Amino acid sequence: MVRTARFSEDDFIEATMAQVAEGGPPAATMQAIARRVGAPTGSIYHRFESRAAMLGAAWNAAYASFTAALAPLLRAGRPRDAALAILPWAREHERRARFLLLHEPVALFEDTPPPAPLRAELERLEESFDDAFRACVATRGDGALREEDLARAKFLIFDAPIAILRPHLMRGGPLPPFAERMIAELHAGMPIG
């Protein structure tokens, strides 16, 4: 008789995000992840070769979710809407937001980088998102991508909204009701291009 798996790869990925979101990268041990899922530690190794693979899969899942929410708006030349889209994404995916927006990949992978296929997937995601960002900035001016335009766009679309959210994500409380207004005011006062 064939035995069906009780735990999916997604169960372990979500548990990894939860561990990091709640306790930082050191909290994401294989044992803690297995305990959170309610699985034997060995069952993780049937799906992931290492802790770095678990963290890499979790990072890629969170990053793909984030980029899926923003990239279409960037490609459509709507930087303000892309910046504002971070808020509903963070509300809907609080655990992913805490995992992704409060931690840098370098801290997650300081001991061991993720396996090559996961690194390649992250590079593909980053390249696609960067292409959407550059396309958005190019539509805002004369088409030339000046360093100042890129820096302003990065600040307005990503850095400022994430800075507004970060204290609330760290505390785990609700996102501030004024966040949307602040982001919109920033875009009105310092337009891109």
- Mean per-residue pLDDT for 85-101? 95
Residue 110: pLDDT above 90? no
pTM for the predicted model, two decimal places: 0.91
For CA atoms 160, 25, 169, 14, the dihedral sign is positive
Residues 131-176 pLDDT 10s:
999 999 887 666 667 888 889 899 999 999 999 999 999 988 888 8
Contact 56, 118 (CB under 8 A): yes
- Any idea what the Cα angle at residue 132 is, between residues 143 and 193, rounded to 5°? 35
- Give residue 1's pLDDT band: very low, low, confident or very high (50, 70, 90): very low
CA 86 to chain centre: 10
| Ranges 87-91, 113-117, 139-143: which has the least confidence | 139-143
The region, left, alpha or beta by phi > 0 then psi within -120 to 50, assigned to residue 7 is beta
Residue 16: pLDDT above 60? yes
